[in-house]
Structure 1
Amino acid sequence: MKLEIYDPALCCSTGVCGPDVDPELTRIATDIHILQQNKQDIQRYNLAQEPEPFVQQAEIGELMEKEGTDILPVSVLNGKVVKTNAYPSREELCEWFGLNRDLLENRASPSHIDISIK
């Protein structure tokens, strides 16, 4: 399984910065970190910092042409768009990767996890 998440333009690679952090950005960054630590193939692209993947993935370009950037975030699983306008839920992530939901539900506190993108 390969999941690609096409983020709207964010201030940094995760969007988890500044004084008013969106809790949904913190949640998805933490979930992605945990999944990657468990050897899951997840890529995340930020429109402000990495516009090229948005152009290279034809379906993303078409969606943005029709709907504008409001369609973002978009999740693409194995080359197929599976979700638009929102980040995948924990339930969806676990279902897509065939993992027990406890992996994400019973994780360490986000303050103890390095969520920086390398």
Structure 2
Amino acid sequence: MSKIRIYDPAMCCATGVCGPSVDPELTRVATAIFLLEKKNIDIVRFNLGSEPQAFIDEANVQELLNTKGTDALPAVIVDGEVKLAGRYPTNEEFADWADVPVRELTKTENKSKGIELL
């Protein structure tokens, strides 16, 4: 099973899905992560604003920050390898790394199964 780590830029809360103006991309990512966690996928998300030590501890992220600055965030490390820098994964990428069908990472699929999201 893959080990997925997401390193977010500094945000107001753990998911960035708060405040008066919610970014739909952050909502999509939060939903995908929630659904993967429910499937016991090893996925963890770190926020630069509240968990800076995680960024220091991960050499790949430290290197990205040294070369590209915070424009490299969000960064995604899968099994110790940098997979993305500067954008969030698509649902297809999440599904590929987690070895699950992409349809299982959408609200529509899970609402029909009676799962309440957000």
Provide the TM-score with structure 1 as the length reference: 0.90
Deviations 1:90-109 (A, max 9, x none): 00011111111111132339
Q: How many angstroms apart in 1 are the aligned matches of 2:17 and 2:56?
A: 25
Rounded Cα–Cα distance in structure 1 between residues aligned with 2:74 and 2:15: 12
Question: Structure 1: which 5+ runs fail to align?
Answer: none
Matched-pair identity in %: 45
1:53 aligned residue: 54
Residue-by-residue CA offset, 1:6-40 (whole Å, 9 max, x unaligned) = 00000001100001011000000010000100110
CA positional deviation for 1:59: 1.2
For 1:108, the equivalent position in structure 2 comes to: 111
Secondary structure (helix, strand or coil) at the match of 1:43 reads strand
Measure the CA separation in 2 of the matches of 1:84 and 1:62: 11
Aligned length: 112
Distance 2:54 2:78 in 1: 15
TM-score by length of 2: 0.90
- Counterpart of 2:21, as a letter, is D
| SS at structure 2 position matched to 1:107 | helix
Matching of residues 22-37 of structure 1 within 5 Å: 22-37=23-38
Deviations 1:41-85 (A, max 9, x none): 100000000000100111111110111101100000011100111
Partners of 1:103 and 1:51 in 2: CA distance: 31
- In structure 2, runs of 5+ residues without a counterpart are none
Equivalent position amino acid for 2:39 in 1: N
Partner in structure 1 of residue 76 of structure 2: 75
User: 4+ runs of 1 displaced by more than 3 Å?
Assistant: none
One-letter amino acid of the structure 1 residue matched with residue 93 of structure 2: E
